[in-house]
Chains A and B, each alone.
Chain A
Amino acid sequence: MSVTVKIPTQLRAATGGQAEIEVEGATVGEVLDAVFDAHGDLRERITQDGDLRRFVNVYVSGEDIRFQQGLDTGIDDGAEVTILPAVAGG
């Protein structure tokens, strides 16, 4: 399944400036692994011991994955995965 992953400004140093990455994957976990395969630096920046760090939000087509099945959330073909900092607002 082809998926577009949107990379926030703060992580683009680790993707060579790319704001969007196209990868394959059937779940959020698989998609992120594919992103980390392409850009190794990213793994440590947003995950710790296999889980997302606590200030990282991931959305599938606009919906927070914590309201779905977390890293096991399924992805439809052509879906968009957005990574954003969880430190705004209030």
Chain B
Amino acid sequence: MSIESLKCKECGSVYELDASYVCENCFGPLEVAYDYSSLDPAEVKRQIQAGSQGIWRYADFLPFKGRPGDPLEPGLTPLLRADRLAERLGTEAEIWIKNDAANPTHSFKDRVVAVAVAKAHELGFETVACASTGNLANAVAAHAAAAGLDSYVFVPANLEEQKLLATGVYGTKLVGVRGNYDDVNRLCTQLAESRPWAFVNVNLRPYYAEGSKTLAYETVEQLGWELPDRVVSPIASGSLFTKLGRGFQEWLDLGLVEGGQPVFNGAQAEGCSPVATAFAEGWDVCKPQKPETIAKSLAIGDPADGPYAVEHARRTGGGIDSVTDAEIREGIKLLAETTGIFTETAGGVTVGVLRKLAERGELGKGERVVVYITGEGLKTLDATRDTFQMHEIDPDLDSFEAEFRREAAVR
């Protein structure tokens, strides 16, 4: 509705709304600029509430002139109060889980990909592509299939088997690159120069990234048009983290919600923590790392939006923490045991950081905390292997009784 231009986040140079992502003057990232001055907040709110049951209900805040359709519309995922989790953490804060695994391909990436694929279609592309740590691969392959577009999906060849299988099934051209995610990303940046393809997170990245704002909008709506006091979100490239902030800010500016930005806490795995390190060291750039962590979906050693994530955490009085692989596994189990939600390793990272905040006494009494769970546990099954034991018995009552008498005796 109100989309205006692409604008450099660093120097403010303005560009046409085409498939470009880099400022020619300073090499900074381009972002979509809007003009909301003609929007009437009350009318916008009415339209949202009468809108579709997914992200297109927020079309006024997405980078389209019209209203895109989408056979695999993501969004409106559950926001659940997690009192038992709060109890286990020993906090009197009000903990809410935004379970974004409840999307068509089981991660928050459906939001960004739905926007990017619709934009690719609008710009006339016939092929979409991406550099992925796995969840994006699933989403691009699926949304391309639904839209009838060809797709090329580039991933590190050593990705979790579940993520490879859940990508290849859609009939995409799945390319396993012998290298880490940053190698894949570099290769795709080079390919984007010569191929007439819409790389969702390269040349379409300004549009793609806008999809993450819908997580902020939904949070506000689901809390009864109120802001949370604090959010805890995983950080890989830092795009989700910064776009959550942008989403809240747009609604604050427009008067759709009152208050101020929530405190932002970011979560990284210790084995890939360039953004947490930059925050701790007080840097305004992220020093790249070679990832070594079970949280492969967060294993970006050279995060494009890292500096902006650091700035946003600082500005809101928050922080960015990291957790070990053992803490990630514990985080997965803690969430599963207290909420019934089985998350992938990225969720284990996020819950692990939530636990640290609780242990440090940083969560205030009655404070409303929203925790973003971005992916599904079935995609990273190895992380839960050997964390519990199965009771194997013969199919008769004696065998059952013997097994559980023994267990009772052990206790």
Residues 113-158 of B at the A interface (beta carbon under 8 Å): 131
Distance A82 CA – B183 CA, assembled complex (angstroms): 13
Q: Does B368 count as interface, using CB distance less than 8 angstroms?
A: no
Interface 1/0 per residue, B331-355 and A, CB below 8 Å: 0000000000000000000000000
For B185, give the chain A residue with the smallest CB separation.
Answer: A89
Partner of A89, one of B10, B22, B202, B285: B202
Query: Judging by beta carbons under 8 Å apart, are A66 and B201 in contact?
Result: no
Interface 1/0 per residue, B224-241 and A, CB below 8 Å: 000000000000111100
Residues 11-29 of A at the B interface (beta carbon under 8 Å): 11, 13
Query: Judging by beta carbons under 8 Å apart, are A54 and B284 in contact?
Result: yes
Distance A13 CA – B201 CA, assembled complex (angstroms): 24
Residues 39-90 of A at the B interface (beta carbon under 8 Å): 45-46, 53-57, 59, 62, 64, 66-67, 82, 84-90
For B194, give the chain A residue with the smallest CB separation.
Answer: A9
Known A54-B285, A84-B189, A87-B22: A45·B27 in contact at CB below 8 Å: yes
For A87, give the chain B residue with the smallest CB separation.
Answer: B29
The A contact surface, by secondary structure, is mixed
Residues of B within 8 A of A56 (CB): 27
Query: Judging by beta carbons under 8 Å apart, are A66 and B186 in contact?
Result: no
Residues 165-209 of B at the A interface (beta carbon under 8 Å): 181-183, 185-186, 188-190, 192-193, 199, 201-202, 205
Q: Does B28 count as interface, using CB distance less than 8 angstroms?
A: yes
**Of residues A9, A64, A88, which shows the largest number of chain B Cβ atoms within 10 Å of its Cβ?**
A88
Partner of A11, one of B20, B24, B303: B24
Query: Judging by beta carbons under 8 Å apart, are A85 and B189 in contact?
Result: yes
Residues of B within 8 A of A8 (CB): 22, 189, 193
The B contact surface, by secondary structure, is loop
| A86 CB to nearest B CB, Å | 6
Q: Does B326 count as interface, using CB distance less than 8 angstroms?
A: no
Q: State the interface size on chain A (CB cutoff 8 A).
A: 25
Known A88-B21, A88-B131: A53·B182 in contact at CB below 8 Å: no
Query: Judging by beta carbons under 8 Å apart, are B287 and A66 in contact?
Result: yes
Distance A88 CA – B238 CA, assembled complex (angstroms): 11
Residues of A within 8 A of B30 (CB): 87
Query: Judging by beta carbons under 8 Å apart, are B304 and A89 in contact?
Result: yes
Residues of B within 8 A of A87 (CB): 21-22, 27-30, 205, 304
Q: Does B68 count as interface, using CB distance less than 8 angstroms?
A: no
Distance A9 CA – B20 CA, assembled complex (angstroms): 10
Known A9-B193, A64-B302: A55·B201 in contact at CB below 8 Å: no
| A10 CB to nearest B CB, Å | 5
| A87 CB to nearest B CB, Å | 4
Query: Judging by beta carbons under 8 Å apart, are A10 and B304 in contact?
Result: no
Residues of A within 8 A of B303 (CB): 89-90
Distance A53 CA – B236 CA, assembled complex (angstroms): 21
Partner of A88, one of B28, B183, B185, B287: B185
Query: Judging by beta carbons under 8 Å apart, are A57 and B193 in contact?
Result: no
| B273 CB to nearest A CB, Å | 15
Top 10 nearest A-B pairs by Cβ distance? Answer: A90-B237, A87-B29, A89-B185, A85-B22, A88-B202, A10-B22, A54-B285, A88-B189, A87-B304, A90-B239
Residues of A within 8 A of B (CB): 8-11, 13, 45-46, 53-57, 59, 62, 64, 66-67, 82, 84-90
What are 8 A-B pairs at a CB distance below 8 A?
A11-B24, A53-B26, A55-B22, A59-B186, A85-B189, A86-B304, A90-B201, A90-B303
Beyond the given pairs A45-B27, A67-B288, A89-B201, 5 more chain A to chain B contacts, judged by CB atoms under 8 angstroms and listed by A's residue number, are A9-B193, A10-B24, A53-B26, A88-B188, A90-B305
